[in-house]
Amino acid sequence: MFDSQFPSLLEVVDDAAFPEADLALRFGRHIDADEATMYEFLREAQPHLERFYQRYGYELVHAQAGFFFLLPQAEKLGRRHLGLAEMLVGQVLALTYLDPSTVDTGGAITRSQVIEMLSHIVGENRLMAALHPRKRRADERVAQEAVRREVDRALRALAALGFCDLVDDENVAIRASVLRFVEPVQGIGDPREALQTLMAGGQAVQEGVAMSDEDEEALDASAEND
Domains of the chain: 9-72 (1.10.10.2250), 84-224 (1.10.10.2260)
Its pTM stands at 0.81
| Tens digit of each residue's pLDDT (9 = 90 or more) over 165-216 | 999 989 999 999 999 998 877 777 687 888 888 777 665 544 444 433 444 4
pLDDT for res 196? 82
Beta bridge partners of 58: 72
Q: For residues 102 and 94, is the Cβ–Cβ distance under 8 A?
A: no
If you compute the radius of gyration of the chain from its CA atoms, what whole number of angstroms results?
A: 19
pLDDT for res 105? 67
| 185 Cβ contact list (under 8 Å, min separation 6) | 191, 194, 195, 197, 198
Q: What distance lies between CA 208 and its chain's CA centroid?
A: 11
Mean of pLDDT values over 37-42 = 97
| Tens digit of each residue's pLDDT (9 = 90 or more) over 44-87 | 999 999 999 999 999 999 999 999 999 988 765 555 678 888 99
Gap between the Cα atoms of 56 and 160, Å rounded: 23
| 64 Cβ contact list (under 8 Å, min separation 6) | none
Of 1-10, 89-98, 105-114, 197-206, the least confident: 197-206
Q: Is 208 left (phi over 0), alpha (psi -120 to 50) or beta?
A: left
Strand order of the sheet with strand 31-32? 31-32, 67-72, 58-63
